[in-house]
Amino acid sequence: MRMVPGIVLAVMALGLTACSSGSTTSTSTSSDAATSARVSRPATPTKTQLDCNAGYLAQFTTRQKLAQLLTVGVTGTQDALNLVRTEQVGGIFIGSWTEPALLADKQIDQVKAAARVPLMVTIDEEGGRGSRLADLIGEAPSARVTAQTQTVDEFYQKSLARGRAMKDLGITVDFAPDTDVSNEPDDGVIGDRSFSNDPNVVTQYAGTFIRAMHDAGVGTVMKHFPGHGHGSGDSHTGAVQTPPLAQLQNDDLVPFRGLIGSGAAVMVGHLDVPGLTNGVPASLSPQAMSLLRKGVGYNAAPYNGPIFTDDLSGMAAITQRMGIEDAVATALEAGADSALWISSGAVSAVLDRLVQQVQSGKLPMAQVDASVLRMAAFKGIHPSC
């Protein structure tokens, strides 16, 4: 995806005028969400907006821009401090292995203070088995149980309270909701992480979660585009193939289509989609990124928010193919805006590789700039002139 700088700045200007991590409102019904997505169009940027974007980008070296496109797992406070101080990554990820004191004792405040621009603090907090914060903010049922036992209004209120508790801990982005459509057994790779095998129910409950989290001031990330719910296996353990793209249209892709204008970011899964990626995981596929960006191939509105990858270092669908340096470079070149992986040891080597890709022209600087601006908008950064 090659862009000329002027177009990049024009396309991104609107995104930098609003905070998507709390000020964006999503719908709670699929039909309203789809309508909202289709009528939303970026306004023509002013010269002042363009100048502000250029000024924001000018503060970074090439390496620092690239660091803004990394979201990296940390073991605890010292690991996070070292990562932010030395490389100024754009985001950190709190995993099940992360020392609880980072959040419980407000040590995250030290880490945020070390960042030159606001730092994303991300987590997987879906409820059910996909929970990292049960000991700190209490338990929540799985998505499937939620849709079976709670009304939309009840779910909104419970999610709003959890979102406020997450924000109080220092979390800025939740890698949720799971927007997959699945009828797998509860313990399947998606299973009870999915609200339902009915795409309209998924759209309704996922949209409610997004709205509640944004009202609480926490950003959200829909996953796993273009749909993991009917995949052939678990991308943690090996390659996964979905049904052909044509079969996803009226099923797995419905929630993404309906919620693409909700203000949530999108995580692309490690999914081989016949008729789209043809043997390549979607997280590394320019065709999958283009489908999401343009919307035309699945009858959705264009999407200009940030695209995250799923974990690139701990899932065999990727690691059986390549190492982390190649995976991050391939994902960003394909069109992702933030590469996610779960440990900090390779960050400097990854950045060395990305700088080389920019210098060689394989990763155009205009594309990097566009991604930096998308990530800034998602963090709620408002460049001033």
User: How far from chain centre, in Å, is Cα 376?
Assistant: 13
Closest CA relative to residue 255, chosen from 290, 209, 289, 286: 209
In terms of residues, how long is the chain? 385
- What was the pLDDT predicted at 255? 98
> Which is it for strands 219-225 and 173-174: parallel, antiparallel or unpaired?
parallel
Position 26 scores a pLDDT of 36
CA distance 34 to 255: 9
Print pLDDT tens along the chain (385 aa): 333 333 333 334 333 433 334 333 333 333 343 333 333 344 566 766 678 899 999 999 999 999 999 999 999 999 999 999 999 999 999 999 999 999 999 999 999 999 999 999 999 999 999 889 999 999 999 999 999 999 999 999 999 999 999 999 999 999 999 999 999 999 999 999 999 999 999 999 999 999 999 999 999 999 999 999 999 999 999 999 999 999 999 999 999 999 999 999 999 999 999 999 999 999 999 999 999 999 999 999 999 999 999 999 999 999 999 999 999 999 999 999 999 999 999 999 999 999 999 999 999 999 999 999 999 999 999 766 5
Task: Give the per-residue pLDDT at 44.
Answer: 66
Going by C-alpha positions, the residue among 270, 222, 274 that lies closest to residue 248 is 274
Q: What is the pLDDT of residue 40?
A: 39
For 349-377, letters b (16+ CB in 10 Å) and e give ebbebbbebbeeeebbbbbbbbbbbbbbb
pLDDT at 46: 72
The predicted-structure confidence for 331-344, as pLDDT tens digits, reads as follows 999 999 999 999 99
pLDDT tens digits for range 214-228: 999 999 999 999 999
Cβ atoms 66, 347 nearer than 8 A: no
**Spatial separation of the C-alpha atoms in residues 330 and 319, rounded to whole Å:** 13
- Structural domains of the chain ordered from first start: 5-58+118-343+363-379 (3.20.20.300)
pTM tops 0.75, yes or no: yes
Q: Give me the pLDDT at residue 50, please.
A: 72
**Where in the sequence numbering do the catalytic residues fall?**
236, 310
pLDDT at 185: 96
